[in-house]
Amino acid sequence: MALAEAGARGRLLRWPRVLLFGDSITEYSFQENGWGAYLAERLVRKCDVVNRGMSGYNTRWAKLILPRLITDSTNADGIVAVTIFFGANDSALKELNPKQHVPLEEYAANLKSMVQYLKSVDITADRIILITPPPLQESAWEKECLAKGDKLNRSNATTGQYAQACVQAARECSTDVLDLWTLMQKNQDFSSYLSDGLHLSTKGNSFLAAQLWSRLENKLSALPSLLPYWRDVDHTNPEASLL
């Protein structure tokens, strides 16, 4: 059978999508042992995991980009989950990092604005997960800053305020939330979860992946595997199994 004929006979294969939207912690998530790569491996036969992480970005910039990533309900069709993971840059101290800093009230408003936009293109609240910034290990991040000739430009206490605002925004929007800031500090030294005081280490990636998977697994459990397992293909008449 010619390929064109096979294509005409068969139905178009469209993979559902999981969209990861965030800053550098999302952008780096497809690196070796990254939390995004973990999700992609788990879901490879069920849906595509799309990385839309932008290093250094904050919610002020993100809310401008989101409508360009998902333009309308047609474009949103097939998106089964979205993670919104910002705050590590918004929470930078204004006097030391004014370019990335976003005031706390605006940060919360931006998160709610993005959720409302997703709802407007028919991505329901049950498919949206907000993720708070992780805790900041100040001494390690200060070394990174000093190496670039800068002063320590973030604090864990301030990051915690943004994490709380993220949790509250999720509550008001009726979405799920992963409070990474709180979970990573629960009864333990969280420094091993971070590679440089801000970004995730291998252990931190594994922690986030496990926490996120426990939420996504329920949402995505009903998705079928796309195309049959190879042992189930009728080798004498593959068209009957594959088209």
CA distance readout (Å), 109 to 104, 141, 150, 174, 192: 9, 27, 30, 15, 32
Distance (Å, whole) CA 176 – CA 121: 18
Is 101 one of the catalytic residues? no
**Of residues 72, 126, 150, 196, which has the active-site annotation?**
196
* 196 annotated active-site: yes
Interatomic CA distance for residues 119 and 74, integer angstroms: 13
Paired strand residues for 74 = none
Does 24 participate in catalysis according to the annotation?
Answer: yes
CB 134 within 8 A of CB 29: no
Tell me the Cα Rg of the chain: 20
Residue 85's SS3 state is strand
Catalytic residue among 91, 101, 176, 199: 199
Which residues does the annotation mark as catalytic? Answer: 24, 196, 199
